[in-house]
Amino acid sequence: MVIAITGFIGVLVGAILVYLGMAIQMRHLENKEQRRRELELKVKEIETLNQLNKKINEILQKRASLLEEYVSFDAFDDCYITIDDFAYLQSFSAQNNFYLPNYILDELFQNIAHRKVILSPDETMKIGGYAYKGGRVILENFTDNLTAMINEKKSQLKNTTRQPIGFFSKDDVWS
């Protein structure tokens, strides 16, 4: 009888050890998966900010190539945004609103809307876009903000990748 009880206790202790080992292993796998998702999200945020920054830079560079198309303005700080580019910016921000900070885009569209130059419909059709008085400065500041955000996200990504994932990284392993 003593041998049976000892054997039964040994089986129970073995089952408890296996359960604890599996709980620790499952927690470790969950932590790895969660970290992988966080890294993917940060990378997607960086890629989205980079795409937006490239598009804004393209808009800023169009001024030099389309200078003769400017109709009623030619101040250095004016900005010309084609209808297609403006629609692209709005649709891009709508499609990627999960990865982009909403406050910065709302602020951009509000600031740029206040600076719209009213041209005749013929002039607007001729140049195929809208002119924004002082819009160049706003877009340049926006690209500077985007670049700062990209660098901040990259440093966060670097810090996240350097943190090791241990078996005992959460306190509730035993529950």
The DSSP call for residue 114 is T
How far is the C-alpha of 86 from the C-alpha of 71, rounded, in Å? 19
Pairing of strands 116-117, 79-82: unpaired
For the segment 73-105, what is each residue's pLDDT rounded down to a tens digit? Answer: 455 556 667 777 778 888 888 888 888 887 888
Amino acid letter, 107: E
Tokens 């013929």 appear where?
A: 122
Q: Which of 69, 109, 75 has its CA nearest to residue 89?
A: 109
pLDDT at 124: 65
Chain-centroid distance, C-alpha 116: 28
pLDDT at 157: 85
> What's the CA dihedral at 94, 97, 100, 104 to 10 degrees?
60
Who has greater pLDDT, 71 or 24? 24
Within 66-101, where are the H helices?
Answer: 83-95
Report the Cα–Cα distance between both ends of the chain, in Å, rounded.
34
